[in-house]
Amino acid sequence: MSNEKRSSFTGKLGFVLAAAGSAVGLGNIWRFPYLAAKYGGGIFLLVYIALAITFGFALMTAEIALGRKTGLSAIEAFKSLNKKYAFIGYIVAFIPAIILPYYSVIGGWVMKYLVVFLTGGVSNAASDTYFGGFISQTWQPVFWFMLYIGATAIIVLLGVEKGIERVSKIMMPVLVVLSIFIAAYSIFLPGAMDGVLYYILPDFSKFSATTVLAAMGQLFYSMSLAMGIMITYGSYMKKDVSLESAVKQIEYFDTGIAFLAGLMIIPAVFSFSGGTPEALGKGPSLMFVTLP
């Protein structure tokens, strides 16, 4: 193990917001509402929460503990346990490398739409043809992709405390406020209350093994588990921070945002499409297309 002193998060709040910022993403905002709608609404939500507070809590605790104990990267952390486990570290480190381009492309889209919003082009951007026209161009998507990569690189290069932690302390509260606002707007749309009830009241007749598998897959995706990410974050966690308390708060944050995302999307789908099985079974992007 290297004796080189590593930087660290300033405290539990910084660590929780940064780790939650890593966990919260497309899995919560985009994929969770789609799976909840497709697999029975309330029963999917119930199964997911049950898995999150049992299996998810145990696995996240183990990963963060491994990172904090060793103070090493995912690859070196597994190797420090036993050299024959080093291959696991390489596998988990390879997963973020695979998803980085995927997230960066969508991050570029978000930056593009943010600029459009700030410059008063909301009505134009809401048209059916705007997005298709944007991604069909050659250089515009590449430009926003590179801009997103550049902004991310700057934050990482600034370090744990001055980069990742500082940005997380700003952006995560903003995300919570925006999620609450949009969810409240969606709930009060005409006909949306049927969607709210579908989403929060479990119908046990819809329970199946597929529901459990879908919720389990979402758990790994949403909470950044088995990807080496939580091991890496844990390696920058101070020893005097309560591990159990921090993991609980990360899970509250992550699951709370996923729950709010469901309230944003599912009631709106009921409002504008009547909550038909066809609409509820569509993929994430098609579910958004149903909205005005």
Question: Average pLDDT of 233-241?
Answer: 90
pLDDT, tens only, 91-145 = 888 888 888 888 899 999 999 999 998 888 888 888 888 888 998 988 999 999 9
Q: How far apart are CA 275 and CA 279, in angstroms?
A: 6
Instruction: Give the other-Cβ count within 10 Å of 290's Cβ.
Output: 15
**Which ranges of the chain does DSSP label H, i.e. alpha helix?**
12-23, 26, 32-38, 42-51, 57-70, 74-81, 86-118, 122-125, 130-135, 139-157, 166-187, 193-200, 209-222, 229-234, 243-273, 277-280, 284-289
In a domain, 240, yes or no: yes
pLDDT category of residue 60 using cuts at 50, 70 and 90: very high
CA 162 to chain centre: 22
**Does the structure show a pLDDT above 60 at 283?**
no
Q: How far apart are CA 207 and CA 50, in angstroms?
A: 14
Range of the domain at 201: 12-75+160-289
In a domain, 101, yes or no: no
Q: How far apart are CA 15 and CA 241, in angstroms?
A: 9
pLDDT, tens only, 174-221 = 999 999 999 999 999 998 999 999 999 999 999 999 999 999 999 988
In a domain, 140, yes or no: no
Please tell me the pTM assigned to this model.
Answer: 0.84
Q: How far apart are CA 46 and CA 259, in angstroms?
A: 11
Q: Do 235 and 68 form a contact (C-beta atoms < 8 A)?
A: yes
In a domain, 91, yes or no: no
In a domain, 63, yes or no: yes
Angle at CA of residue 94, ends 92 and 97, nearest 5°: 125
The two tokens of residue 70 are 């060793």
pLDDT category of residue 282 using cuts at 50, 70 and 90: low
Average pLDDT, the chain: 87
Q: How far apart are CA 68 and CA 264, in angstroms?
A: 36
pLDDT, tens only, 69-95 = 998 888 899 888 888 888 888 888 888
In a domain, 147, yes or no: no
Number of domains within the chain: 1
In a domain, 7, yes or no: no
In a domain, 215, yes or no: yes
pLDDT category of residue 285 using cuts at 50, 70 and 90: very low
Least confident piece of the model among 16-25, 221-230, 251-260, 282-291: 282-291
263 residue type, one letter: L
